[in-house]
Structure 1
């Protein structure tokens, strides 16, 4: 990738007692891109995030924000980061707008115009002057996003941001997040156990297991062309597919093969010539859950917190 990363994790390691929690983790995060951070229970996701925001010091390695070490310029680095952890805590008995004014006062140079801008950005114009106690969880999540964006961060970290939201709220939040990444050029880093949501939200995923980064891939790579083939006789079908050079994986009553669309007509002709009983030839796409389980060897997916 030609552009410069906003955040770089360089050979990051963390040992607590005799246990290595994070093991030589390196990762670059780019502007305008949403990266999903996945891993089984106990993989080290929350420990990594804590080191990224300076709540925990690495045993070795470094976190760079726009090329500057967080250890060398802690305040400068944090000024470029926005964070949302699960359900943001707000002052419920004042308005959303007064909450934003309160948070704006914690940063230098956040103008009234900037507050109005983020209110519009997250679609809260009609409710911003009402008390937070009247907001739904989805509205509080939007307000949390507005708060995190007030100081024009270059990097946004979200830890389980859609927990508790209904499907409509999740979709709205996803759209606002995509808008922030694409139109503001913010690098977004999302840790979540909701794999179906990560699949819709992210440009790429990074997978951690036992403290090690085991895979980084573009979401387009998880959408390679596969086809489901169901035909009889079963054994002869597997032999034919193998002889034609396809990688064959048993699935339900047939097989999954990796094939390009243009290869399918000739393959069907082969089945016809052999007078096999052909019941199904249809596109098949592995879900992110399938991919995740393959990568981690079936590690547990769901979690509330990883220590």
Structure 2
């Protein structure tokens, strides 16, 4: 049975003062999946997120959340959404627990059992009754995550969620997100300029440039794998690669071959048969940075946060 998307962006378009900021964007987001949202400066990431949260109305198209249009059925649709934008703002003179209690009252249907559940889920049991002013940035991020999960959202939007966190805090935050996505079937949408973190966190990425969605790809797919072969004489290795019609790029001491896994033993056997000395044969996964630069032609990643 085919999985249904939780969120659908359909022909989403935004025009301001005659300039098309978002151009006919279509994207499906699925339960249990973490999707990274990347783009160069001014690509339209923030504008897209504003439309996905109802803070900005699209010029054309719509955002559909669990079958309901955000524009036509705002309250019902937005009730399925949780949001964290950079560093969550909390009442620092209150305890973490009282902050959560305050937010729970806004929803009206969240009991103490649910509050305790999200506290355990983000690992704040030992410090939850202390004032937020005593929390580290990482703890405040966890409290913000707990707050965004209180009402059991089906869709979680994170805009630069690891800004200011140290490596340990980033790793913790990533672990909680993957747990929430897997265990609760939440669709997580992450916009960030930290490519190394997106690479570790996400199941797939969507890349936007000049307001258009230019690529959607799964992370860690074999299609992006090349094999590095270090051998001598290098001229002979190149000759054999050409004869076998393999695409390759010559490095200092070897070749980067773009071949599928099944072709590697055949290539090695051909090298051995020709008396080539082989020092290394190893898979090399293209980094997300490599892929991003290929897709955008070298565009910068971070987007200016302008109003």
TM over 0.5: yes
The residue that corresponds to 2:205 in the other structure is 205
Mapped contact 1:11–1:26 kept (Cα < 8 A): yes
Quote the residue 1:45 is aligned against: 45
* Residue 70 of structure 2 corresponds to residue 56 of structure 1: no
Deviation at 1:263, TM superposition (A): 2.9
Structure 1 residues 63 and 258 mapped into 2: Cα distance closer, same or farther (>3 Å)? Answer: same
- Name stretches of at least 5 consecutive residues in structure 1 with no aligned partner: none
Matches within 5 A, 1:64-75: 64-75=64-75
SS of match in other structure, 1:284: strand
Unpaired runs of at least 5, structure 2: none
Per-residue CA deviation, residues 68-112 of structure 1 (Å, 9 max, x unaligned), is: 111111111111110000010111111000111111111120111
- Cα distance in 2 for partners of 1:303, 1:19 equals 18
Q: Aligned-pair distance for 1:41?
A: 1.0
Q: Secondary structure of 2:217's match?
A: strand
Task: Summarize the Cα distance change of 1:290–1:55 in structure 2 as closer, same or farther, 3 Å threshold.
Answer: same
1:15, 1:151 → 2: CA distance?
A: 33
Mapping of 1:228-267 within 5 angstroms?
A: 228-267=228-267
Partner secondary structure for residue 13 of structure 1: strand
Matches within 5 A, 1:172-183: 172-183=172-183
Is residue 12–residue 58 contact of structure 1 (8 Å, CA) maintained in 2? yes
Aligned equivalents of 2:208, 2:224: Cα separation in 1: 22
Shift of 1:282: 2.0
Show structure 1 runs of 4+ deviating over 6 A: none
Shift of the alpha carbon at 1:302? 3.3
Cα shift readout 1:30-58 (whole Å, capped 9, x = no counterpart): 11111111111111000000000011111
How far does residue 181 in structure 1 lie from its aligned partner after superposition? 0.7
Alignment map for 1:111-122 (pairs within 5 Å) = 111-122=111-122
Q: 1:39 to 1:250 in 2, by over 3 A?
A: farther
CA displacement at 1:217 relative to structure 2: 1.2
Say whether 1:109 aligns with 2:79: no
Counterparts of 1:218-233 in structure 2, within 5 Å, are 218-221=218-221, 224-233=224-233
Normalised to the residue count of structure 1, the TM-score between the two structures is: 0.94
CA 1:290–1:93 in 2, change beyond 3 Å: closer, same or farther? same
Question: Mean alpha-carbon deviation: is it higher for 215-224 or for 122-131?
Answer: 215-224
Which residues in structure 2 correspond to 1:1-307 (within 5 Å)? 2-221=2-221, 224-303=224-303, 305=305
Q: What SS does structure 2 have at the residue aligned with 1:106?
A: helix
Give per-residue Cα distances to partners, 1:12-46, cap 9 Å, x unaligned.
Answer: 01111121111110001111111111111111000
Q: Using the TM superposition, name which of 17-26 and 237-246 deviates more.
A: 237-246
TM-score, scaled to structure 2? 0.94
Structure 1: distance between partners of 2:238 and 2:270: 13
